[in-house]
Chain A
């Protein structure tokens, strides 16, 4: 009983191995000291296994536990929250290893390992991470298998084989459960990833914000169009509508900041066929969604604001997929309410006096607002304005004056911001729109990949009879940016992705690397669409497609039926495996002879030599004494013959065996 409760050495090796592969995907979000604890625990445990050190006594254990808690409190300043929970789990894993002497400790350790794998999914659902986690499942299962092979005192790969086999066998039924298991809403609120950095656009925009974002080659979202992809210059992905200017910073109006009567959007007339597309958004830790104008979504949990953008009441912490229809030609808000007009004209304070004066001049000279817009755009084209990722730093006060009249070097947010300031000063309702422009069409699966460097800011002006019209002052300065993308617009400057020398996007000109990147991206899209974005709506559609109307009875039948289908072959393979040592023909014949004698009451004992058996049998069955002697003699001769027995010998032997009756 004692020996059975010990951890075989091989199992210990696998457990220590698993502890390091487990920490691998978490490495970027845990404090470095946790890794130190890991190495320390592994070393100590190895020394115990070598017999050099002994297990820690209870005061030491208590001290280590308290130190662990204190360390996490210091690093995260809280024990609640996902990152600190993960760090706590990992520390507990390392410390538990230190006191694992018995099998029951190992169970706790390994099951804890499964939990650690799960926590990784709350942070990343990337395909490669998932493959790593699958490997971790196999390694932990290997630990469990090794734990039940007593006497394995050397490192051995055998348990790995068994574990891989078992995990592979589990996959089919797992898929059945995955697609059939009903998806509920959350049962209670759970800690959110408080420490996770918000990515992409921020709620506020001041000069320099978008250009900073443009240094990243990360994917913002992927879009799959149902039908043709509109031309690149039409792909203005609206995310935020910024109507408020405060101290040189633009910000969006909150849903509740608008008076109750202004919260509902005036629905425009939609004519013609809409663009249909689905978007898979990478986690942003924000609430708003990106879409082409004028967008509507029938998905549950998506709301529309009065400035015609889509948002979600819940922060987007995981990849999020949504379906959108857009009518690009629809006229937005043909009648402007008083509150809206006042908001979109507000230009508080009295800064930027030169810009205001210029706007007043334009307004006085123009016959209608549209002409003012044209004058300003012409100004951007004629004057020596430069579109650059490295704009000159602007002063805090009268920043727009400095930009429009002195530096004239800026990125899209400079142009959008200065344009809207001029419009408002000229008495034309205008606002800044922030989002992304363009995207890369992946030829592999015809999705549009929108990267962070596609971040863009433009303007919308309200014109009588036309509603809100999109105006992009950047297009006036740098048409390449809109037609071809940032990389081409910056080709002279060479500043594209200057901060990420390793990004695969920098090597787009090398065909093979680019093709690999696009293929992997297509795979990621498929993965996100089918696995990560699988929800109750998708599930309902899928089941409906396969089984028609889905009743509870049908559900049970499908679940049981597919389960049985998946498990039956496995059971057959396991339980009716072929005999190994296929007996030689000679041995089969001899066993036949033993059976014949057995029927006559003389059973051959296990391990009884043929001669011994023969002499015993001869005594009991004197009638057959000669036959028995003959068979035994022939068997011995054939079995121990120097060369292999021939067919003739065997058939003779078969005859002698048959004569025994």
Chain B
């Protein structure tokens, strides 16, 4: 009983400390899309290796004292001073490094998203062994040597909820040159990934059949309704590109399915009347993806947004974005 109560107190205490630390970091390093690391943002402290090195130095000092050996004193002091000089070098390795948020790829719930950063060195020096990681993301260690800027992609799973996903604070760490000290910073890159609604299939598309009788049966690619080729235009679905022709060395061409040209479908908010908001969005998302897969034209009608029927990658992104941000303020990119 007592132990449980005690651990509860400890847990609360820890949570409190964590909250205080978060607040401290937030105040000290506010969110920004461009961050240059400087003394306000960099923390530095000896790590385990540094501690081990310190113990080694103590042993060496003891040996110097016991053997009354001046050169051993000299070596010990040289290494101790090296440790001190390393503080400056380790700090200098991180300081002056500029991080820019480039973009974050949208993703479906539970999937991996890609965050892209650009690192730039602003002064005449190299930045070596920079370790980058968001909580939950994979880590990347990069060297900015002989280049002044470098792009880094980190992958992290997004949350379950649609809308904007923020990965939290980015950890930038380095122990170059001697590994005796850990030099790090937690920066909020103000980088958010868009999370689409989870696509959930519904039995059929209610109400659609009445308006467009032949739209109910979802067409499959490669049906007889193939019409011909035309030159590729930006925004065309990759699926419609005539890859075989491209492989033969012809220009980029797109297969056209004329039969679908007049079958434009409106995905309407009201199609799924009577069910919850998230459920509706999930179904709409599912159908949008289905139509896109078939190369069909489709439009979206939400209470606040209306997107005219069209097809192609850009259109799909527009539709999914509208679905993802339904009821959410568009404060992202």
Contacts and interface: CB of A to CB of B under 8 A. Distances in A.
B221 to A, nearest CB: 35
Given A151-B143, A170-B81, A144 B69 contact: no
Given A177-B80, A187-B66, 9 more contacts: A104-B49, A118-B76, A148-B175, A173-B81, A174-B81, A184-B65, A531-B74, A575-B91, A579-B123
Given A111-B52, A144-B179, A162-B177, A534 B81 contact: no
Interface stretch (B12-20, B56-64, B239-247, B251-259): B56-64
A4 interface: yes
Interface string B76-120: 111111101110110110010000101000000000000000100
20 contacts: A1-B139, A4-B139, A4-B141, A111-B53, A115-B56, A159-B177, A173-B77, A174-B74, A174-B78, A177-B81, A186-B65, A186-B67, A187-B65, A187-B66, A318-B68, A533-B70, A575-B88, A575-B91, A575-B95, A579-B123
A252 B77 CA distance: 43
A125 B53 contact: no
Contacts of A162: 177
A574 B60 contact: no
A58 interface: no
B122 interface: yes
B291 interface: no
Contacts of A577: 123-125
A166 B88 CA distance: 10
B74 A607 contact: no
B78 A171 contact: yes
Contacts of A581: 148
Interface string A184-213: 111111100000000000000000000000
A125 B70 CA distance: 9
Given A162-B177, A170-B82, A150 B141 contact: yes
Contacts of A629: none
Contacts, number: 163
Given A1-B139, A141-B82, A534-B70, A166 B56 contact: no
A145 B56 contact: no
A502 B83 CA distance: 43
Contacts of B49: 104, 107
Interface in B131-185: 131, 139, 141, 143, 148, 175-179
B232 interface: no
Is the contact region of chain B dominated by helix, strand, or loop, or is it mixed? helix
B65 A606 contact: no
A409 to B, nearest CB: 45
Interface in B36-67: 49, 52-53, 56, 59-60, 62-67
A531 B77 CA distance: 14
Nearest to B38: A575
Contact of A190 (B66, B82, B95, B139): B66
B125 A167 contact: no
B176 A177 contact: no
B73 interface: yes
A133 B129 CA distance: 29
Nearest to B130: A150
Interface in A121-147: 121-122, 125, 130, 133, 137, 141, 144-145, 147
Contacts of A190: 63, 66-67
B72 interface: yes
B71 A531 contact: yes
Given A121-B75, A190-B66, A581-B148, A114 B56 contact: yes
B88 A571 contact: yes
Q: Could you say which interface size class chain B belongs to?
A: 35 or more
A338 B303 CA distance: 128
Contacts of B175: 148
Contacts of B84: 170, 173, 567
B2 to A, nearest CB: 39
A628 to B, nearest CB: 23
B79 A149 contact: no
Interface of A: 1, 3-4, 103-104, 107, 111, 114-115, 117-118, 121-122, 125, 130, 133, 137, 141, 144-145, 147-151, 159, 162-163, 166-167, 169-171, 173-174, 177-178, 181, 183-190, 318, 531-535, 567, 570-571, 574-575, 577-581, 606-607
B67 A148 contact: no
B29 interface: no
A118 B128 contact: no
B68 A186 contact: yes
Contacts of B85: 166, 169-170, 173, 567, 570
B177 A148 contact: yes
Contacts of B102: 606
Given A181-B77, A606-B118, A141 B178 contact: yes
Which 9 A/B pairs are nearest by Cβ-Cβ distance? A580-B124, A170-B81, A121-B71, A177-B77, A173-B81, A574-B92, A148-B176, A174-B78, A174-B77
A4 B131 contact: yes
A145 B177 contact: yes
Contact of B67 (A122, A147, A173): A122
A123 to B, nearest CB: 10
Contact of A167 (B69, B82, B123): B82
Contacts of A159: 177
B179 A147 contact: yes
Given A151-B143, A187-B62, A579-B124, A122 B72 contact: yes
Nearest to A103: B179
A186 B62 CA distance: 9
A229 B40 CA distance: 65
A181 B61 CA distance: 11
B317 to A, nearest CB: 19
B88 A570 contact: yes
Contact of A137 (B78, B92, B95): B78
B128 A121 contact: no
B123 A130 contact: no
Nearest to B78: A174
A169 B177 CA distance: 14
A125 B71 CA distance: 7
A178 B139 contact: no
A105 B124 CA distance: 33
Contacts of B59: 115
Given A149-B129, A577-B124, A607 B118 contact: yes
Nearest to A177: B77
B74 to A, nearest CB: 6
A113 to B, nearest CB: 11
Contacts of B91: 575
A149 B88 CA distance: 18
Contacts of B65: 184, 186-187
A313 to B, nearest CB: 14
A243 B56 CA distance: 50
A578 B129 CA distance: 22
Contacts of B100: 606
B121 to A, nearest CB: 8
A318 B308 CA distance: 93
B88 A567 contact: yes
Contacts of B143: 149-151
Nearest to B176: A148
A133 B60 CA distance: 15
Given A174-B78, A177-B77, A148 B129 contact: yes
B82 A578 contact: no
A87 to B, nearest CB: 17
Contact of A166 (B73, B82, B123, B125): B82
B82 A117 contact: no
A148 B131 CA distance: 11
A121 B81 contact: no
Contacts of B60: 114-115, 118
A317 to B, nearest CB: 8
Nearest to A318: B69
Interface string B176-214: 111100000000000000000000000000000000000
Nearest to A125: B71
